[in-house]
Chain A
Amino acid sequence: MGTENLAEKAQILIRSRLCSPNFIFKPLSDSPDSNYSKLKFIISSSIMEACNNSILLLGPRGSGKVAVLELVLSDLLEEYPDTITVIRLNGLLHSEDNSALKEIARQLCMEHHLLFSKMASFDDNSQFMIAMLRECGLAHKTVIFALDEFDLFAQGKQRLLYSLLDAMQTVTSQAVVVGVSCRLDADQLLEKRVRSRFSHRKLLFLPPSKEDVQRLLEHILSLPMDSSLACDYAAEFNEKLQSILADKRFKEIISNYLNSNSTTNHLLRFLFIAISNMDLKSGFLSLENFKAALSSIQRQPKQECIKDCSILELYILVCMKRLEVREQNSYNFSSVMKEYKSVHDSFPTSDYYAQNVCLRAFEHLLQRELICFADNRGHTQSIEFRQVKLVVSYAELQEGLKSYRSCPAILLKLIDR
C-alpha cells in the first residue's frame, strides 16, 4: 500500500500545482524580456519615481495575464511592503460605475483600517477616492488599480475610467492603472477624453512557444526530490516522466491538442485530466493517461447530440434540412410536419407518428439546442407556429447520421438528395 499512498500524495501535489497560477508562471518569468520582467519594471519604476502610470495587458483568454500580474504584485508587495495599496476590480462584477466606486472605497477602507459606509453615495465615494489618492500621493504611497476584464469598464459612459485617470492627471497622486483584457482593441474602445489621459503602454501576451511548453511540462509534472515524498519514488517517477516527455507519440498528442488553442490554461486543463487519470496502483504516469485525457477533452458536442437523438428526432432534423436545401428559408413546426408527411407518403415506413408525438420530439430538439427559434419575438404564439432554424450544418448532420448505430437507410438516402 506504500506506493498507493505515495502516488496519492504526488497526485495531490501536482493537482494543487495545476490550480495555482503563481507556481506555473514562475519559470516563464525569469528571462529579462518576459512580460513579467517588463511589467515589474514599469510598475516598480513608477513606484520609485513616484509618478502615475497606466498599462494594458492584452492577450487571449487563459494566457496568464492575471497570473503574471498577481505574481508581480506579490513580489512588489514583498519588496515595498508599506508603500503599495492594491485595488482589484473585475469588469464582470464592477462594470457599473456605482458598484465599482463602492468597491474601490471598500478596499481602500479595508487597506487603511477605516470605517466603510455602505450607504455612501456615488459622489461621496468618488470624493473619498480622490481624497485618498491625494493623501497617498502626499505620503508617497502608490495605489495600484488592477482592472480585470478591462473592456467591460469601457462600456457605457466610462465615468469610472475618466474619474480615475483624471484624478491621476490633476492631483499629486501616485497611482498605476493596470488593465487586463482579452480584447486586443481594448484601447480603441475608450472615449476620446479617456484615451487622451491614458498612456498607451501595452503588453501583449502570446501563447507559449514549443520550448516553453516543454519546460512547463517538466516544471509542472516532475516531483521535487526534497519533499515529504520518498526520494526513490520521486526519482523513479521523474525518470518515467522523462521517457514519456521524450516520446514521439506524446509530442504528437500535445501538438495535436495545442493546435486548436495553445494558451497555457488550455494546456493545464489537459494535464489536469491526465493527472486525474493516473493509475494509483502503479503510481506512475503513462502515455495512456494522456491519450485518454485527449479523447475526453476533445469532444464533438454536435455529434454527441445527434447520437442522443431518437429515430423520430432524426426524421425531423432531416425534414428540416430538406426544407433548407430547397431554399425555403423560413419554416416552422407545421411546415416541417407537412414535409414529414410528404416524405412518408413517398416512402412509407413504420416511423410515422401522430402530431403530438412529433411535437414532443421537436421540443426535445429545442431543449438540446439542435434547433432554435429564429427570432425572440412571438412568445404568444404556440410552438407549432414559431419560426425555427437548424443549428447543425449539413456536414455535421450527415456525419452524425452515418455514425448513428441503427440509422434507417431511408434517412441517409433522404439527406443525400
Chain B
Amino acid sequence: MGNEESPQITRRATRLSSSTPVTSNEVETEKITKPYKLTVNDFVFGGEKLSFNDLLSSFPARGNQIRELLRLLGPVNSPMLPLFVYGDPSTGKTSTILQIFRHLNRPFVYASCLTCYSLQILFESVLDQLLLHKKNAANGYSSARRCVKPSDFVNFLRGDLTSVIEKLKSLKKVGPNKSAGKPSGNMLYLIFDNLELIHEWDKSSTALSFMFNLYDVLKMHEVGLIFISNTSPDTYYSNMGYTEHVPVYFPEYTEDDLRQILMRNQPNRKLYSSFLDVVLRPFCRTTRRVDELSTAFSPLFRKYCEPLSDLASVPNEEMKRRLFSHFRPHIAPSLNEIFWVPSKSSTEAETNKDTTLKGSTRKSEVGDHFAQIDFHMSTSAKYLLISAFLASRNPATLDASLFDSTGGSDSRKRKRKASEKSIEQKEVAEQELLMKGPGTFPLERLLAIFQCITSAADSFDEDEHENDDLRAGGDGGLMSDVLLQLSSLCNANFIIKGGSCPLEGSTRYRSTVSEDLALKVARSLKFPLPNYLYRR
C-alpha cells in the first residue's frame, strides 16, 4: 500500500532524509560512511531544486497556503516578521514549509521541540546546526556548546548568526553564478516546530514568552523566524509576554481533499476511487486526519480487493456492486476499531490465502478475531489481573462477604444488599464511580483476593490441574512469584502504582483494565467473574 503520502515521511525526519524523499537512503549512508565536512551550503536542501509546479502538485489542497507562505517569505533578501503557522496534526505544516525552502533554496535551521525535548537540547541543537557541528563518536556525541540559560543562548546565537550570515554574504560575492547547491540570499531562517510542547516543559512559561519574543530580543533583520504549532494562537494568550506574529492557518482537509491525497500513488486509481466511494464518507465522520485514515484504509482495501483476481482490472458498475456487497459487513466493525492488530491466526490465514487462495472463508468473521485474541500471560498473571480488577471495582468493605469460604455462592445475599439502597443514592454512587474511576487498593488486599479466587477456582474446576504450581504451593512459595508477576503487570500498564496512602504509608495500586478485557480474561480462565462483581 503506497498511500502514505511522502509528507508523512518527512514529518519528523531530519533535513537530510527529507531533502530527497526518493533517494534518501543512498544519501544518508554515503554521508555516514565517509566523514563529511559540512559547509555553508548545507543550510539548504541538497539535490535538485523543486519547481513551483512540483511543489504545488506534491501537496494537494495546499495551494493557498503555499502561495501565502511564499508571499510572506517574500523575494530574496527581504526581511520578514516572524510567522506563526498553525493547524491540526497531519495537515502538512512541517513538510510544506520544508519543501518550500527546498523550492526557494534558501538557508534555514530546523529544530523540532518534539525531538529536542528540553530547552537545553533545543538551544544546543540550533547552535550545533549553526556551527555546522555534527555529533559523532570522535567528539563523544557532545554538542558544540553547552547552553542552559536563555541568556547564554541569545549571546551565542547572536554571534553564530552573524558569522553565518557573513559567510553567506561572502559566498555571494565569490560566486554570483547560481549553481545548484548554493544557497540563495543571505537571510537565514530559524524554524521551530511543535511549539505547543513547550507548554509542558515549564509551568511558569517563561520559556514560551522567550520564544515568542526572540525576534525582538535578537533585533537582527537577516534572521527570519517561523514557528509551527499544532494549537491555535489563542491557546497561547494566557502567557505573559505573548506577542502576536503573522498567522498562517492550515485548515483540516475536507473530504474532497482527503480523496485527492489518498488517491496519490495508487497503482489502480479507478479501483481505489470506487473503494473510497464506499469508505471515505463514514470514516470521515469519526476522524479527518490523513495519518489515521490511511492506516485504517490499508487493511480495508486489501479486504476490498479480496474477491478480485486481477488487481489491475478496471471495475465496472456490476463489479463495484459485487465488491460492495462482499465488503459491506466489514465496514461497521472497522469503524469501531482504532487500530487493527494482525493477530496470529489472521496472519496465518493470510499466508494460507497467499498460497492456496482458500482462506477467505475463515477471514470473513473479522469481528470474532478480537474475541479470540489470546493473552500471552501466565495463568497466575491472569488471576492477578482479575483480582486487581476486583479490588479496584469492589468496595473493600464487601470483601469479607464476597470471598468467604464458600466462594462465589453468596450471590443471593449481595442482591438483597444492593436492592436496599434507594434509587437516588444509587445514582449518586454511580456518578461518583464514573468520576473517580477505578479505586486504589493496598498490596495486602490484592494478595488476599488473589488467594481467595485461586482457591475458589480450585474448588469449581477440579479437572483443570495442569502446570499451576502456585495453587498447590501454599502461602510461602507463592509470594515471590506473585510479586514478580505484579511488577511485570505494572510495567505493562495494566496496574498502576499510585501514590502512597498518607495514613498507612504503603503503596497503593490501581487497575486500569476495562471491564470488557477483565471479562475476556476471566472467560479464558473459565472463572465466573460476574459473580464476584459488586453491582450497585
Contact = CB atoms under 8 A, between A and B. Distances in A.
Given A93-B151, A331-B435, A335-B431, A357 B79 contact: no
Contacts of A334: 434-435, 437
Main secondary structure of the interface of A (DSSP, over half): helix
Contacts of B68: 296
B89 interface: yes
A162 B246 CA distance: 39
25 contacts: A8-B75, A11-B75, A11-B78, A92-B206, A93-B210, A276-B74, A307-B252, A310-B287, A312-B287, A330-B435, A335-B431, A335-B434, A335-B435, A351-B285, A356-B337, A360-B287, A360-B338, A361-B287, A364-B88, A367-B88, A367-B231, A380-B498, A380-B510, A382-B496, A405-B254
A203 interface: no
Contacts of A277: 71
A92 B434 contact: no
Interface in A95-113: 95-96, 99, 103, 106
B209 interface: yes
Contacts of B210: 92-93
Contact of B79 (A19, A302, A382): A19
Given A16-B78, A95-B206, 19 more contacts: A11-B78, A92-B150, A93-B150, A99-B149, A265-B243, A268-B81, A276-B74, A297-B246, A299-B233, A304-B232, A310-B286, A310-B288, A311-B285, A312-B285, A356-B337, A356-B338, A357-B286, A357-B337, A381-B510
A66 B435 CA distance: 51
Contact of B251 (A11, A93, A308): A308
B72 to A, nearest CB: 5
Report, as a range, how many residues of chain B touch the other chain.
35 or more
Contacts of B336: 353-354, 356-357
Nearest to B152: A99
Given A18-B81, A310-B286, A361-B286, A11 B74 contact: yes
B221 A19 contact: yes
Given A92-B150, A308-B251, A380 B435 contact: no
A305 B434 CA distance: 28
A389 interface: no
Interface in B65-92: 68, 71-72, 74-75, 77-81, 86-89
A11 B79 CA distance: 10
Contacts of B254: 405
A367 B230 contact: yes
A310 B287 CA distance: 5
B393 to A, nearest CB: 13
Interface string A347-362: 0001101101101110
B287 A304 contact: no
A187 interface: no
A329 to B, nearest CB: 11
Given A11-B75, A15-B78, A304 B335 contact: no
A20 B431 CA distance: 60
A229 to B, nearest CB: 14
B434 A368 contact: no
A384 B496 CA distance: 14
Contact of B234 (A66, A301, A361): A301
B217 A312 contact: no
Nearest to A360: B338
B284 interface: yes
B233 A332 contact: no
Nearest to B242: A61
B213 interface: yes
B241 interface: yes
A332 B221 contact: no
Nearest to A62: B243
Contacts of A311: 284-286
Interface of A: 8, 11-12, 15-16, 18-20, 61-62, 66, 90, 92-96, 99, 103, 106, 149, 265-266, 268-269, 272-273, 276-277, 296-297, 299, 301-302, 304-305, 307-312, 330-332, 334-335, 338, 350-351, 353-354, 356-357, 359-361, 364, 367-369, 380-382, 384-385, 387, 405
Contacts of B245: 269
Interface string B223-256: 0000000111111000001011111010110100
A359 B89 CA distance: 17
Contacts of B155: 106
A357 B338 contact: yes
Contacts, number: 167
A415 B72 CA distance: 40
B278 interface: no
A353 B209 CA distance: 41
Contacts of B89: 367
A19 B74 CA distance: 13
Interface in B185-244: 206, 209-210, 213, 216-217, 221, 230-235, 241, 243-244
Contacts of B435: 330-332, 334-335, 385, 387
B436 interface: yes
Given A268-B81, A308-B288, A354 B232 contact: no
B499 interface: yes
B247 A297 contact: yes
Contacts of B437: 332, 334, 381-382, 384-385
B151 A368 contact: no
Nearest to A406: B255
B512 interface: yes
Interface string B45-72: 0000000000000000000000010011
Among B232, B282, B496, find the residue whose CB has the most chain A CB atoms closer than 10 A: B232
A299 B249 contact: yes
A351 B74 CA distance: 46
A93 B153 CA distance: 9
Nearest to A351: B285
A176 B31 CA distance: 55
B241 A354 contact: no
A301 to B, nearest CB: 3
A368 B233 CA distance: 11
10 tightest CB-CB pairs across the interface, nearest first? A385-B437, A301-B232, A354-B336, A308-B252, A19-B79, A93-B151, A311-B285, A12-B78, A301-B234, A334-B434
A310 B71 contact: no
B287 A364 contact: yes
B470 interface: no
Contacts of A308: 87-88, 251-252, 288
A305 B232 contact: yes
Contacts of A350: 282
Contacts of A330: 435
Contacts of A90: 217
Contacts of A369: 231-232, 235
B230 A272 contact: no
